[in-house]
């Protein structure tokens, strides 16, 4: 082990600064373990020249373990006898299997089957997001085409289901159903975007239209542009004399 460590330190490393290193794994959930292994594999692929043997991959991954996950491997590294060898420290596949046995799911296929059925396709979400999650679990389970189509039909919202009933496209296969659902959903969001654009244009136009002056309530003010009623009366006539004068329609 010490010889391996010295050899790793002596080798020139070509670091790819644009590749993110894996997150630390402390023995959490099976999903966290799956993500950790996937991140390690991405890093190995991106830095292919840096890792030439399985042991290099394994000890790189161990360096990103913490907590009980790291505690498990410590005795096999620090206290191992010279004659002892462990396949999970020599073969990457054996190392992954050891991690899965320790921190993975006891029934991963059952968990994936439950997860694919539980994916939500709400009325305000997009089909592309649904099928990204769907594909992740689809590749892990052994379901036939008919079972996959049933899961999708049970999950799609009414706005998609109503349009699907009148579609003339072939939906007898999972891929055919997926294409039609994607197209119906894309058309829906395109219409939504167009409606929002029209609304914004109308609001912008309304902002430039001058508002008509509000009519004054009650009788006109003497300061208004229209002449006051008192300007039309004779000089010797007042409102009081008019109220006291007899009506012309009733002769004395």
pLDDT digits (tens, 9 = 90+) for 97-130: 999 999 998 888 899 999 999 999 999 999 999 9
Q: Is the pLDDT of residue 135 over 70?
A: yes
Q: Is the pLDDT of residue 7 over 80?
A: no
* Number of other CB atoms surrounding residue 8 within 10 Å: 16
The residue with tokens 């012309």 is 248
Q: Is the pLDDT of residue 88 over 80?
A: yes
pTM: 0.61
Burial of 247 (0-12, 13-18, 19+ CB in 10 A): exposed
Cα–Cα distance, 190 to 195 (Å, whole number): 9
Q: Are 41 and 20 in contact (CB under 8 A)?
A: no
Residue 133: what are its φ and ψ, rounded to 5°? -65, -40
Q: Are 134 and 119 in contact (CB under 8 A)?
A: yes
Query: What pLDDT does 204 receive?
Result: 83
Q: What is the C-alpha end-to-end distance of the chain, expressed in Å? A: 135
pLDDT tens column, 9-49: 454 445 556 789 999 999 989 999 999 999 999 999 998 88
- Range in 91-95, 150-154, 227-231, 235-239 with the lowest mean pLDDT: 227-231
H or E stretch at 190: helix 174-208
pLDDT tens column, 243-252: 454 544 444 4
């Amino acid at each position: 082990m010490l010889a391996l460590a010295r050899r790793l330190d002596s080798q020139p490393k070509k670091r790819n600064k644009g590749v993110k290193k894996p997150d630390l794994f402390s023995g959490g959930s099976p999903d966290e373990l799956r993500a950790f292994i996937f991140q390690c594999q991405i890093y190995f692929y991106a830095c292919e020249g840096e890792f030439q043997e399985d042991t290099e991959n394994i000890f790189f991954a161990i360096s990103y373990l913490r907590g009980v996950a790291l505690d498990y491997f410590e005795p096999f590294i620090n206290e191992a006898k010279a004659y002892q060898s462990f396949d999970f420290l020599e073969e990457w596949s054996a190392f992954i299997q050891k991690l899965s046995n320790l921190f993975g799911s006891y029934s991963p296929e059952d968990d994936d089957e439950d997860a694919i059925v539980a994916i939500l396709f709400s009325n305000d979400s997009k089909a592309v997001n649904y099928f990204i999650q769907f594909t992740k679990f689809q590749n892990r389970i052994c379901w036939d085409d008919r079972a996959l189509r049933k899961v999708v039909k049970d999950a799609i919202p009414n706005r998609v289901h109503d349009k699907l009933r009148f579609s003339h496209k072939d939906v007898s296969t999972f891929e055919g159903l997926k294409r039609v659902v994607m197209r119906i959903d894309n058309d829906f969001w395109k219409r939504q975007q167009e409606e929002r654009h029209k609304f914004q244009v109308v609001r912008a136009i309304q902002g430039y239209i001058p508002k008509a002056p509000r009519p004054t309530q009650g009788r006109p003010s003497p300061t208004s542009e229209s002449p006051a009623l008192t300007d039309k009366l004779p000089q010797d006539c007042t409102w009081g004399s008019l109220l006291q004068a007899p009506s012309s329609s009733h002769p004395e």
